[in-house]
Amino acid sequence: MSLLHLVRSSAFDSNDFAQCINNILPNDKIVLMDDACYNINHPLIEKAIDKVSTTSIYALKQHVLARAIANNNIMEITMNELTKMTFELDSVITWQ
């Protein structure tokens, strides 16, 4: 069973991202959205990459651009791609 984890909060302000990382499994995917896009520059991103690899961590492109975040490591996706992903995985959980 694979889960899609939607993370909406910055790890600079809450522990939601840390809780997400503690619960992810190797087949899961993570999407950073809203203020969670700031997690691209948070030290916890390395822990997330170690658990699921960079190919399973995404950020919503529009949300990264709106926050002017420099992003060289995380794949950016559109809202349409996120919608598709919700149907491809077994379940979705939101961390906010």
- Above 90 in pLDDT, residue 4? yes
What does the pLDDT look like over 68-84, one tens digit per residue? 999 888 999 999 999 99
The domain total for the chain is 1
- Above 90 in pLDDT, residue 91? yes
Find the distance separating the first CA and the last CA of the chain, reported in whole Å.
22
- At residue 76, the pLDDT reads 96
Average pLDDT, whole number, for the chain?
95
C-alpha dihedral (42, 46, 52, 53), degrees to nearest 10: 110
What is the extent of the structural domain holding 28? 3-95
What does the pLDDT look like over 36-63, one tens digit per residue? 999 999 999 999 999 998 889 999 999 9
Residue 78 makes CB contacts below 8 A (sequence gap 6+) with: 60, 61, 62
Check which CATH number belongs to the domain holding 54 and give it. Answer: 3.40.1260.10
pLDDT bracket for residue 13 (50, 70, 90) = very high
